[in-house]
Structure 1
Amino acid sequence: MGNVLIRKPATPGYEGRQTVVLQAHVDMVPQKNAGVAHDFLRDPIDAYIDGEWVTARDTTLGADNGMGVSLAMAALTDKTIKHGPLEGLFTIDEEVGMDGAVGLKPGFLKGTIMINGDSEEEGRLFVGCAGGVDMNITFHYRDGEPTPEGDVALRLTLAGLKGGHSGVDIHLGRANANKLFFRFLKKAISHYDVRLATVEGGSLRNAIPREVSALVTVPADRVADVEQLVREYEALYRAEYKGVEGDIRFTAERTPELPATLIPEEIQDDLINAVEGCPNGPISMLHDFPGTVESSSNLAIVQSDDAAGRIDVKILVRSSSESRKDALCSSIESVFSLAGAKVELSNPYGGWQPNIDSPILRTMEKAYESLFGRKPDVTVMHAGLECGIIQEAYPDMDMISFGPDIKHPHSPDEAVGIASVEKSWRLLVATLEAVPEK
């Protein structure tokens, strides 16, 4: 698979302790602000210290899951800490589809305890997470329609949204760029005969979409009206998301060249109605863990391909309940099926069910209270962790997840709290020393 496993023998006198797997994923989410010239395959992350945080200029930082990797590597290289046998498991492509975890085979690991370093709130220990599934939706059409004579082309751009992690940040009420744009487009079409040529909204299935760019045509005598409507919707969205979104920008720029063809009107209207009607954001909450989302959907990507005669829509559905995950997928499938689209599900992964009697949970709770004078919060998260998938191959493995404070992962505002990294390291060291005997 390309996963990496590193083994370190026990500190002398600790050979009888249980083997601990320190697990993290090595990939990051590549997101950058509009207009930023950054090649994630070539350019280094421009990280810097901003007060009590480390962040990056105009791109994601990679603290998700670079901090988990760093904590594990520090434990593997440090010759002063005390611990039993250690395994460092570094998985690939977690952000793409949990590929490294899915490909993990029984027998590869020797450990009986796993500490996952992919959590993002210091002082909280995570013992469960949601499962998820990708919904891949396609509108097909044979040929585009000719551009009406006398039309003018406009490049519409909606940008400046915060976006974020579709699991960690889905409850924060942030705007989904795809939902905002198609809400506007529905009115622009019905009032001013706007036609859609191309659209590109969002970029990653597990990131709340921050930007949409679309090429449309407008009758020449309606151009000023559409430009005014764009300004009105920019003001409307800023007012609706005041205090949540700081810099929503909606622009219309006239372009000299008209598109050769347009998306067929029937397909265009079906797409708009389906996107408008699609459930998005938090759908249900967990009763046993107040404030934690149980089920959600993220309408992540809407992208047209005129040459192929298709429009792709990608949605990530998450839930801690398999039945509610199925119900939400069914609801979304109905919306798009009624619009004539093809709907397929892929990359399903199960949730990680909490075990409140977990021995490593008790060990880590005691270590935290001893170090910092208070008990840590014990909870579950809505984001997907690899723990549930790995547990399918290692059903008897005792698992827990922890990590430092990371805010706004999957967005260019991503940052990690410096002080929380030290606390996470101290907690890991104390926990490894206290791991029970085999």
Structure 2
Amino acid sequence: MPTILDIFKDITKLQRCSGNHSEFIAYMQNLSQKLGYICLVDDVHNILCKKENSNAKIVFQSHYDIVCLKENCVPEIIEDEYSLSAKDSTLGADNGIGCSYMIALMYERFDGEFLFTSDEEIGLIGANGLNLPINANFMLNLDSEEEGEICIGCAGGVDIKAIFNNKKIVPNIDNLDLYEISISSLPGGHSGVDIDKNIPNAIKLLIQSIKGCDGKILDISGGERINSIPANAKAIIATKKQPKKLIDNMKIEKIDTKSEHLSIYDDTLLNYLYSFKNGVRELNKELNVVQDSINLALIKTNIDEIVIEFSARSMNNENLKNLKDSTKSDLEKIGCNVNTYGKYPAWNPDINSFTDTILNIYKNINSKASLRAIHAGLECAIFKEKFPNLKIASIGPTIKYPHSKKEIVYKDSINNVFEIVKIIAYNLK
């Protein structure tokens, strides 16, 4: 039987960037046939594997898509004695290790339900559109990223998209110079669990540089994914002053062209983004977690408009609504057309017989194990809405810097958590 690492390396060879489904679906269909499971696929590309006459008490769940910082990227694994990472890309341990745990249990012919969801990283699309029969009483989500922590609650989130089209063509009577300012290869990171780690936001840094030289925006772009802290950004601006280099990763190039007329965007957007409070808005001392946050995630220039996207999160649904409404209102005041999308609810912390069982099992192996909530969106919140009687918890190995080139997972942690997964599985059986 293959090891967890063997399985992970095998599925990492498949194209699993969000929006790509066919290779992993084919892999699971072939594997299910080989191991004696039926394999069901719904209209939004979720996969459910189970035995024909299953008496499963537990459904294991992981999403199979990964964040790719470049389109159609297949990670090249870098392995040492202690860990796995990837060469110049995300690794996809989020949530490939969880998928590997589930596949390993299938190799053991375990009678469980194995739910692999699609497109979690671009708005929990698979979980929201799930149309597959879940009959188990318990769900173990395998998308947590800290060994020893049993997640029993998570943040809700909503994405905010603003379109700014206040643009005009003006004569260059001040003889402004053109510059290209670019920022590249910042660490990036997850805009939920990493939002309090003081990771620099490339778009905010770019805006600070433009504001510092009284620049006028002609063109701007930045960010990689709606749920990532931007690692790259660039802009073309007009200014009288030489822009200042704020960090080593910033490059400033003068464009040796003079223009009699300039097509520039109004300063109201620049001023708003400069003063915008990015990152943590409030802490939850009771849960020892970020309560509210918002991340300036994406910006791009189209023909006659700039599109800006934000990701807001909160551990409380009412707070999330207030954060969304206030941000939307502020953007509308500067002339933006605003809409929201990708909303998912918070999962209110829930301690029950299932979570107590997991905690007791975990403490027998790791005395420091604890229940906690995280400031990130988990599909658990959606499943709890769809299946109110389902008892849910989430665990996983230690994964550092998901959604970034620095993503790393530790071998000992992978193996430790799988032992716990197996004990939970057979205990419930």
TM-score range (shorter-chain normalised) is: 0.7 to 0.9
Q: Post-superposition shift, 1:51?
A: 4.5
Q: Which residue of 2 aligns with 1:338?
A: 333
Is 1:102 the equivalent of 2:123?
no
Q: Post-superposition shift, 1:277?
A: 2.5
Is 1:200 the equivalent of 2:221?
yes
Q: Which residue of 2 aligns with 1:3?
A: 46
Identify the match of residue 186 of structure 1 among 189, 208, 211: 211
Q: Post-superposition shift, 1:211?
A: 1.6
Q: Post-superposition shift, 1:298?
A: 0.6
Identify the match of residue 298 of structure 1 among 295, 298, 313: 295
In structure 2, C-alpha distance between the alignment counterparts of 1:259 and 1:409, rounded to whole Å? 44
Report Cα offsets for 1:179-201 as digits up to 9, x if no partner. 22212211211xxxx33211011
- SS at the partner of 1:396? coil
Change (3 A) 1:201 1:375: same
Q: Which residue of 2 aligns with 1:90?
A: 116
**Range with bigger deviation, 344-353 or 404-413:** 344-353
TM-score in terms of structure 2 length: 0.84
In structure 2, C-alpha distance between the alignment counterparts of 1:146 and 1:3, rounded to whole Å? 55
Q: Which residue of 2 aligns with 1:243?
A: none
Is 1:124 the equivalent of 2:149?
yes
Aligned counterparts, 1:25-424, within 5 A = 25-31=63-69, 40-41=71-72, 43-79=73-109, 85-105=111-131, 108-141=133-166, 144-145=169-170, 150-189=175-214, 194-219=215-240, 222=241, 226=242, 229-231=243-245, 233-234=246-247, 248-256=248-256, 262-264=262-264, 267-290=265-288, 292-305=289-302, 307=303, 309-357=304-352, 359-372=353-366, 374-424=367-417
Q: Post-superposition shift, 1:161?
A: 2.1
- SS at the partner of 1:170? coil
Change (3 A) 1:49 1:313: same
In structure 1, C-alpha distance between the alignment counterparts of 2:239 and 2:194, rounded to whole Å? 36
- SS at the partner of 1:171? coil
Number of residue pairs the alignment of both structures matches: 386
- Note the residue ranges of structure 1 that are not aligned, 5 or more in a row: 32-38, 235-247
- SS at the partner of 1:54? strand
In structure 1, C-alpha distance between the alignment counterparts of 2:98 and 2:257, rounded to whole Å? 49
Report Cα offsets for 1:260-291 as digits up to 9, x if no partner. 97453xx431111111222311111223212x
Q: Is the 8 A contact 2:156 2:315 kept in 1?
A: yes
Change (3 A) 1:279 1:332: farther
In structure 2, C-alpha distance between the alignment counterparts of 1:186 and 1:155, rounded to whole Å? 14
In structure 1, C-alpha distance between the alignment counterparts of 2:322 and 2:278, rounded to whole Å? 14
Change (3 A) 1:184 1:73: same
Report Cα offsets for 1:367-417 as digits up to 9, x if no partner. 222234x15111000010000111211111110000001000011000101
- Matched to 1:314, the amino acid is E
Change (3 A) 1:329 1:74: same
- SS at the partner of 2:205? helix
Q: Is the 8 A contact 2:216 2:267 kept in 1?
A: no
- Matched to 1:276, the amino acid is Y
Report Cα offsets for 1:308-367 as digits up to 9, x if no partner. x1111100100011111122122222321221111211121101111112x221221222
In structure 2, C-alpha distance between the alignment counterparts of 1:328 and 1:297, rounded to whole Å? 8
In structure 2, C-alpha distance between the alignment counterparts of 1:370 and 1:19, rounded to whole Å? 22
Higher relative contact order (CA 8 A, sep 6+): 1
RMSD: 2.2
- Matched to 2:427, the amino acid is A
Tell me which stretches of 4 or more aligned residues in structure 1 moved more than 3 Å: 141-152, 255-264
Q: Is the 8 A contact 2:282 2:290 kept in 1?
A: yes
Q: Is the 8 A contact 2:172 2:260 kept in 1?
A: yes
Q: Is the 8 A contact 1:118 1:401 kept in 2?
A: yes
In structure 1, C-alpha distance between the alignment counterparts of 2:237 and 2:334, rounded to whole Å? 21
Change (3 A) 1:258 1:411: farther
Q: Is the 8 A contact 1:8 1:76 kept in 2?
A: no
Q: Post-superposition shift, 1:258?
A: 6.2
In structure 2, C-alpha distance between the alignment counterparts of 1:316 and 1:261, rounded to whole Å? 36
Is 1:432 the equivalent of 2:429?
no
Q: Post-superposition shift, 1:141?
A: 3.8
Q: Is the 8 A contact 1:134 1:345 kept in 2?
A: yes
TM-score in terms of structure 1 length: 0.83
**Range with bigger deviation, 255-264 or 173-182:** 255-264
